[in-house]
Amino acid sequence: MVIVHKILDLETDQDIGIYNLSPQIQACIAESSVQNGQVLICSRHTTTALAINEYEERLLEDIKGYLRQLAPAHQRYLHNDLHLRDVPEDEPENAHSHLMAITLSSSEVVPIVAGQLALGIYQSVLLFELDGPRYRTVFVQILGE
């Protein structure tokens, strides 16, 4: 069995942005030589999330709108009482971003079959930036033969 670890780096460019990681993950699989197994994708931040869904422009806008309604940035949150916490000077008021993240997932596992992500025709592995723009990393672990 082969086990390979990779870190994907990306700079996000929106406060709430959705990024298709499938091409980068597929490239990691190709480099690993794993033909059959699975890949674990894990967010390394508390204000990003992962999901498998369709990467279609109008749907992405619908998802962003849904998340903004779910946890509005302008609402009162205890986490945003920065003067009551020991935080860096540049700490943002981002409780809404944390709440959005917990409604999604921090990891996904996808089968690998014949060296390919075993996703459906309209499925992609998506990273959700919920507190950007920022520099982000995603952990990828490939297991298999």
Distances from the Cα of 5 to the Cαs of 15, 88, 113, 131, 136, in angstroms? 28, 31, 18, 26, 17
In a domain, 88, yes or no: no
In a domain, 82, yes or no: no
E-strand spans in 79-123? 107-113, 116-117
Question: Please, what is the average pLDDT of the chain?
Answer: 97
Q: How far apart (Å, rounded) are the C-alpha atoms in residues 134 and 124?
A: 22
The CATH number assigned to the domain holding 130 equals 2.60.120.460
CB atoms inside a 10 Å sphere around CB 87: 10
In a domain, 70, yes or no: yes
Predicted local distance difference test score (pLDDT) of residue 105: 97
Q: What is the mean pLDDT of residues 4-10?
A: 98
In a domain, 136, yes or no: yes
Predicted local distance difference test score (pLDDT) of residue 30: 98
| Tens digit of each residue's pLDDT (9 = 90 or more) over 77-103 | 999 999 999 999 989 999 999 999 999
Spatial CA neighbour of 33 closest among 63, 2, 9, 76? 2
% of the chain at pLDDT higher than 70: 100
Q: Look at the chain and report how many structural domains it folds into.
A: 1
H or E element at residue 20:
strand 17-20
Predicted local distance difference test score (pLDDT) of residue 90: 87
CB atoms inside a 10 Å sphere around CB 24: 18
% of the chain at pLDDT higher than 90: 99
* pTM of this structure: 0.96
Q: What is the mean pLDDT of residues 9-29?
A: 98
Domain that holds residue 130: 2-75+93-144
| Tens digit of each residue's pLDDT (9 = 90 or more) over 40-64 | 999 999 999 999 999 999 999 999 9
In a domain, 83, yes or no: no
**Is pLDDT above 90 for 135?**
yes
Helices (H) and strands (E) in the chain, counts: 3, 8
Lowest mean pLDDT among 22-26, 47-51, 66-70, 86-90: 86-90
In a domain, 85, yes or no: no
